[in-house]
Amino acid sequence: MRLRALLDTDALGLGLLGGEDELDRTVRGVMTTDLRDPSRYLSGGELVLTGLAWRRDAADSEPFVRILVQAGVAALAAGEAELGDVPEDLVAACARHRLPLFAVHESVAFATITEHVVRQVSGERAGDLAAVVDRHRRMMTSGPAGGGPDVVLDLLGSDLDLRAWVLSPTGRLIAGSKAAGPGLPSEVCAKLAAEQLAAVRTGRRGPHRVLVGRTTFSLFPIHGSGGRPPQAARIPLSPQPPRTGPGPAGAAGLPGARDVRESVLSDWLLAVEADAGDWADERLDLLQGVTQLIAVERDRRDAARTVRRRLAQEVLELVQTGAAPAEIAARLRVAAPVLLPGLGAAPHWQVVVARVEWEDGALEAGPVAQSLLEEILVDPGATGPEPSDRIAVAHTGDEAVALVPLPAMSADHDGGESGVLADALLAAVREPLSAGLDGDGRLTLGVSAAVHSAEGLRGALEEARHARRVAAARPGRVCAAGHQELASHVLLLPFVPDDVRRAFTARLLDPLRDYDRRHRAELIPTLEAFLDCDGSWTRCASRLHLHVNTLRYRVGRIEQLTGRDLSRLEDKLDFFLALRMS
């Protein structure tokens, strides 16, 4: 904006005291100061507001004005509230240095002028950035020279002073602007992703604002070509028109409309460190344009996975139809260079099965499970739109199946101890995915052991499916189980009828719980520690920080209350199972 525009704004109450020939200067910002030397905080083009507290006598005006001119400020505005009229020595100094000088009436707050300048300058800069974004969009859509989402985020940082990040639906950091500095902590990423998924599922109007600590973030969805139109982020999903078919609240409810669940678990999101609640429509439209631009990169990511998906689909069909091991092995030899480029030896393989289940059963969940499994199998420490080229996931019905290649292991190494582990898969993604599935959906995963050849893939697939069924018998929106649990009592516990479980645990543990409530004796924790230490008195006493005699007294009380003998294997096993089922 120009200085002349400030002078022409009556609400600002500015009076020109000098510099009429310089009113076409451009104002790029505003700063309020009463420092004698504010140069370290000036970058040029500012309108400087001052209450004149720095001025002790007439000799102070000349050095102050000289400092402002050397810093390249656009103009100086002096308030009349402190001294009444602006001192003549300041007027003379500004005239000598050709620095425009305004007087600010005592009835006008500096905050009013600051807000006006910031609003005007931000609007102009947003318009300039919109043109840059539009040029960048054309470059990205015509070829790979655009530079990816990082370039767009850097534009937000340099032109609008906005710190921004792109996150996956599981909370993985995909990109961040240089202005954003180090990446967001993983726990913050997970919380932002969870809030976005929950907000979309419940139909809250976007952009969604989230307070993390003392920092406010505004969240904008990034839709791929198969998702909803970008404008949907600013249209409430609820209340909705009457539905024409089955579906939960949050489904589009119109003929031909996409169910919100088809994209909510696969959309990226743009997290901006700002409160967009009072943004003008122009700035909101600009951010929507940025999300569309980043969506181009997301579509490229999906296209890059097409080959790996096709390879996985071919191998899965061969395995399920009982093809000869030699035919499957030939397909794996084709897949290995694609999934593990540069690997000389044939890898081992693991199979991971995922299933998304909706309570109404109205939506084909296979593509959703496929997209989620591809994201979950990414290395948690990886960043970028395409951080891994080792993911090959097919889907059939509501189930997704991943082939995970592992580097060849030595003959004496137990493959079952290597590769993907069920617990590790969900450690970082449980919170956001639980929010995305909350209300009517579940995600369950099963992981096989590593196999050494094509002959073992059919068994690995069945093993992963059995492990997934074990996970499905557990409570919770997001659960996983590994092959180790198929040879354990853990496999049996989920299938014990609820009334049998309750009766068994009540008979063994209720006397101890009642005693603990009355006497605070901690018999239940003592029992758990004693079993964990395999009945070792010294190790258990050390763990509980008790004298051995105190431990013996507690164990004796447990045996007295339950009529069991903890020196007998059968009784130890009963207590162990009761604790696991409680």
Domains (ranges, CATH) in the chain?
3-108 (3.40.1390.20), 145-241+261-304 (3.30.450.30), 306-495 (3.30.70), 498-581 (1.10.10.2840)
Residue 232 has what pLDDT? 30
Distances, alpha carbon 371 to alpha carbons 168, 305, 478, in Å = 11, 10, 15
Distances, alpha carbon 359 to alpha carbons 27, 197, 354, 365, 497, in Å = 58, 18, 16, 11, 22
Distances, alpha carbon 348 to alpha carbons 333, 345, 438, 457, 488, in Å = 12, 9, 36, 10, 24
Residues 6+ apart with CB under 8 A from 32: 48, 49, 50, 110, 114
Residue 262 has what pLDDT? 60
* 415 pLDDT more than 60: no
pLDDT digits (tens, 9 = 90+) for 145-176: 445 677 778 777 776 778 889 988 888 888 88
> pLDDT tier at 566 (50, 70, 90 boundaries)?
very high
Residue 243 has what pLDDT? 33
Q: What is the distance between the alpha carbons of residues 350 and 133, in angstroms, rounded to a whole number? A: 43
The per-residue pLDDT of the chain, averaged, comes to: 77
Task: Determine the length of the chain.
Answer: 582
Buried b (16+ CB within 10 A) or exposed e, 394-414: bbeebbbbbbbbbebbeeeee
Mean pLDDT along residues 66-81 = 90
Residues 6+ apart with CB under 8 A from 389: 308, 338, 339, 341
**Main-chain dihedrals φ then ψ at residue 113, nearest 5 degrees:** -65, -45
Q: What is the distance between the alpha carbons of residues 236 and 224, in angstroms, rounded to a whole number? A: 19
pLDDT digits (tens, 9 = 90+) for 305-356: 777 788 888 888 888 888 888 888 888 777 766 666 555 455 678 889 999 8
* 428 pLDDT more than 70: no
pTM above 0.75, yes or no: no
Residue 235 has what pLDDT? 26
Higher pLDDT residue, 536 or 375? 536
Residue 422 has what pLDDT? 66
Rounded to an integer, what is the distance from CA 178 to the centroid of its chain?
Answer: 18
How would DSSP label each residue in 25-78? PBP-EEEE---S--GGG--SSEEEEE-STT-SSGGGHHHHHHHHHHHT-SEEEE
Q: Determine how many CB atoms are found less than 10 A away from the CB of residue 340.
A: 18
DSSP state of 249: B
- Cis before 239? omega within 30: yes
Residue 250 has what pLDDT? 39
pLDDT digits (tens, 9 = 90+) for 122-140: 655 555 555 555 555 544 4
